[in-house]
Structure 1
Amino acid sequence: MANSSNFVDAMRKAGKQDLVGPNVVANALPYVGGGLILTAIGTYGGLGVISSNPGLFMPTFWVALVAEIALFFVVRGVAEKANNAIALPLLTVYSLLSGYTLTGLIFLALHSAAGLNGIFMAALGCGVTFIAARSIGSNLSDTDGMALMRTVRIGMIALIVVLVAQLGLSLFGFGTPTFLEVAISAAGVFIFAGAAVVDFYVLPRAYRDEQYLSAALSMYLTYINLFIFLLRLIIILSGGSRD
């Protein structure tokens, strides 16, 4: 799962103040779209590495993953200070690295029964979620917004605990049963769909208008994680790998 701590931090801030950035979401949206395009470019580059030099992919994957995690904290810190001239190129590199680290999942999808159609379906699901979330989240009352925000935050923490446990068990050779994989992926879809709704309530209360890159990073992480869990679910339900 992509780093979601920026979203959790935004929820924490939103619980302490009223509307501070009424235009921050509108300002952020072009950068969210640009980040997603750069992520697709990074993934395309990763697929090219797998195709031309498979032995090189895993070493570069781990380098990219470590760099992505480290860069996330740098980008978040700079963006929260509204130092956008520095934050923007850093966010560009972060998006490319994020795409490269997604290559494995995309490669798995392409070699499963899901195929390219499954990837398009996951992307379409993110688009539909955005349209619905914008309509619902922008009109949430304070009572409903705070309640949904707390629910999503609890669900996200629980999901992280489950994923860490799953990773730990896999290191000791314990595979995850299919029904549990479906449950985890479905839970991830619901949690990040809820997070997409909460974004439109939280971000104007967490960031000022000039902090639009912080808001863009939060929204970017929401949709990247939603895409990951949607695609995981599609791969599993399609029957998994053909190889």
Structure 2
Amino acid sequence: MSNTSNFRQAFREAKTQALIGPNVIAKALPYVGGGLVLTALGTYGGLGVIRSNPQLFFPTFIGAVIVELILFFVAQNVAEKGNKGLALPLLATYSLLSGYTLSGLVFVALGQKGVGIQGIGLAALSCGITFIAARQIGSNLSEQDGMALTKTINIGVIALVVVCFAQFGLAMFGVYTPNWLEIAISGLGVFLFVGASVVDFYILPRAYSDDQYLPVALSMYLTYINLFVFILRLLIAINGRD
């Protein structure tokens, strides 16, 4: 779900590195876009399963989550080693699975009064605006500010991942987060992944060379897909208040 491991490795490598990949983000962007398109297709497929065969969705969702977690570490490792021929299909499969696991949240949003397709569009638009702003801010951070922000966001994302896994585990036993707490967690998630988008533009060109665009694409993909998820969660939580 998160790019925590990417943060840790990039932070370690960037501590003593100058800018080594000035064009790596530009090279990664087509793959980020392709991954997001595949995620949309996976979400569309998941929505189809929910509507046509809802009893099948939950077991396939659990299976997809498990495979997605495994595939993340495998794809990341392969991408880091520069095996592009194997990394690309792995990343494509990961993107499709991400979309499938996201379809449950999108289904809830579509049925939520005050959210619907407009809320989904707003979440996507917000990600685009964040990208534009983050590119300007992150590319111009000083070394001191950039490293401080990276460390802070890293710690925050780790804490958020722990909380989200706890939420997921409790939900499996029918224990759900109170709405006020869901708003707080979702708001924190939005804040952290907006910060992560800024960090990407600072840290990634210092941690990866221009030829290492696939791990950079994976890191950026995770940042924006998680930002989208937490914006959508926040909209659902706010509009679900009594």
Q: Which amino acid aligns with 2:162?
A: V
2:139 corresponds to 1:138: yes
Partner of 1:19: 19
3-state SS, counterpart of residue 210 of structure 1: coil
Within 5 A, what are the aligned runs for 1:197-216?
Answer: 197-216=198-217
Kept in 2, the 8 Å contact 1:134–1:200? The answer is: yes
Which secondary structure state, in structure 1, belongs to the residue aligned with residue 212 of structure 2?
helix
Alignment of 1:1-243 (within 5 A): 2-8=1-7, 9-113=9-113, 114-171=115-172, 173-239=174-240
Q: String of CA shifts for 1:15-64, please: whole Å, max 9, x gaps.
A: 24222211111110110011001100000011111111112111221221
Q: Which amino acid aligns with 2:158?
A: I
- Worse overlay, 17-26 or 114-123: 17-26
Q: Distance in 2 between matches of 1:6 and 1:44?
A: 29
Q: Which has the larger displacement, 191-200 or 52-61?
A: 52-61
Q: Distance in 2 between matches of 1:50 and 1:77?
A: 33
The AA in structure 1 aligned to 2:221 is: Y
- Using the TM superposition, give the Cα deviation of residue 229 of structure 1 relative to its aligned residue in structure 2, in angstroms: 0.4
Are the aligned partners of 1:6 and 1:218 in contact in 2 as well (CA < 8 Å)? no
Distance verdict in 2 for CA 1:98–1:83, change over 3 Å: same
How many residues in Structure 1 have an aligned counterpart in Structure 2? Answer: 240
Opposite residue 108 of structure 2, the aligned amino acid is L
Could you tell me the TM-score, scaled by structure 1's length? 0.93
- Paired with 2:16 and 2:84, the residues of 1 have a C-alpha distance of 24
Q: TM-score, normalised by structure 2?
A: 0.94
- Cα deviation for residue 239 of structure 1 reads 2.1
Q: 1:76 to 1:110 in 2, by over 3 A?
A: same
Deviation for aligned residue 1:174: 3.8
Percent identical pairs in the alignment equals: 64
Q: CA 1:153 to 1:177, structure 2 compared with 1: closer, same or farther past 3 Å?
A: same
**Alpha-carbon contact 1:137-1:199 (below 8 Å) kept:** yes
Paired amino acid for 2:77: G
The residue type paired with residue 5 of structure 1 is T
